[in-house]
Structure 1
Amino acid sequence: MNSGKSHLTHEQFIATAIEAINTEKTALALLTEQIDDRFAQACDIILACQGRLVVTGMGKSGLIGRKIAATFASTGTPAFFMHPGEAGHGDLGMLVRGDVLLAISNSGESDEIKTLLPVVKRLGIPLISISRDKRGMLPRAADVVLTLGQSQEACPLNLAPTSSTTATLALGDALAVALVHARNFTSEDFALSHPAGALGRQLLTRVEDLMHTSSENLPLVNQQAALNEALFTMTNGRLGMTVVVDDKDKVVGVFTDGDLRRVLEKGIDLATPMREIMTTNPRHVSKTMRASDALSVMNENAISQLLVMDEQGHLDAIITVHDLLQAGVK
């Protein structure tokens, strides 16, 4: 093996890359010809599974299997990866009645998987195989045999798993996507398994998780109160606004920092009652609204705060654009 300077030019590097990608594209095209009723049968088996989908495979097939298991787990199908070598030394106890085993072996002759098959059959666990073709020990033992087709590896020696692993990954993704449709899996369902990510924050965080409630001394003034009283309320509330209510504590308007600038420019007297200068019909949301939707309301109306009100028109809370952005809501 020559570890020195490459004899390839930049143009040749680019050409080999395009050739490898085209070879893998051919493998994927061949894979589509293999999708038939066997694929639907595999979907039926996984959909009917009362336990978990257990994915296994050795070497590169195992690496692809880990990703397939992760995709299933994050899209509504409980799944995990079981290393076939470790399974033969105790980890096979992970597999129980009610599970489904998805075994991957390009040749269909993995010795590590072969060791597991008698126990799999004894437990009555449905076996789905993924291999190059129907020959080999694994597909002969499987209940459903999924095949990739006789594709050529992108490796110039036709040895290193490249096209075959790409096709296997695509087939695993196709199974997972088919089950997403079958389960009517939603973006909210997806977010439940991704709470730490940006998508989870966007879909799971509600207004009630971030809002300032009445326990925080929300800025409130009566509509008969004078402007100077409202200014003290705004200052103490530190939310850049005050909420104006009637004698029954129902919200009738708001008065914000922007409103204050405008009335000062007009030279309005500080003794002016709030009912004359407040903004009526303020924008408001429910506490169960997604925080991301509340942010959209703010952006669309060029405002920085939203009232959270109950069905009777009373103030429950206030949420600000700062609250949303600080929580990472977009």
Structure 2
Amino acid sequence: MGNDGGSIPTRRELVKEAARAPSTAQVKETQREQQEHSWTFCPLSHRSLARPIVSDCVGNLYNKDAVLQFLLPGDDGEGISSKADCEEILCGRVKSLRDVIELKFEVDTELEEHPSGRAHAPRERREGWICPITAKPLGPNVKSVYLVPCGHVFSEEAIRQLKGDKCLQCNEPYTEENVISILTTKEADKQRLIARGHKLAEQGLTHSLKKAPGSKKRKKHATESAADASSEASKQSSDPKSKSSTSTAVANNASSNGIKNAATSSLTARVLAEENEKKKRRKMMRENENISSLFSKKDGAAKGADFMTRGFSIS
């Protein structure tokens, strides 16, 4: 190119410096900014966190009204992200209100006064929360935890120094595994909380230590099956003649169906017997002459059949 004042820049001119990995200070600053944002805004509604506030099993904070709108059936709720975005944020951890704990913060009453001394002056910051034991402000600069199931919030330092098995606020008993870190950045704490959630799910419990939906029905069904099996066993034991034949039939059914549990195999045998009895009744009804006389056979149907048999046939 010439005489027009234009130029083609080279890569060396465009890329002055090579990409560098962020320094430790930069990583810490990024984490601090993320923590500040998570302590200030609800990720579902993108609004400021305001009581009542709830937390899931990994210690994330949400506005309770946003969680309620997400759980309501129907289209996307007003004031929150789309259902798909909320599902991506929650990662399946919140399926009902039993999967969250409402947190009970100690409010710093001194912040009700403006720093200049004028009472009830407008404030630019959110409601202040403090640890009721150490009086430290809870936020991104202080590691905070809450207890399950009561939901009282403390600084991690207070719980670590005052070791006990009861809440210092409400005297509610708790265990060490039910001390949940709030918005933790440690990978070990995250893995511990995830493992706790899996363990509770295997036990049929939710994050709030309440029964998971459907667990009572399964337990009730299992109890009824066990009761039926025990009653069947008592009948068999009272009748010595049928004991051997019944046990043989149950064993045959268990071996043929691959069922090793005696109670389940006996229940299966009884269901099969009822089905066979129904088939016999239907067969007897088809073979009954009085009933079959009302219908005409396909191969032997007469053209001059009466109105009762016209248009009807049986196999």
Task: Return the TM-score normalized by structure 1.
Answer: 0.27
Q: Which has the higher contact order (CA 8 A, sep 6+)?
A: 1
Based on CA coordinates, which of the two structures has the bigger radius of gyration? 2
Structure having the larger proportion of residues in strand:
1
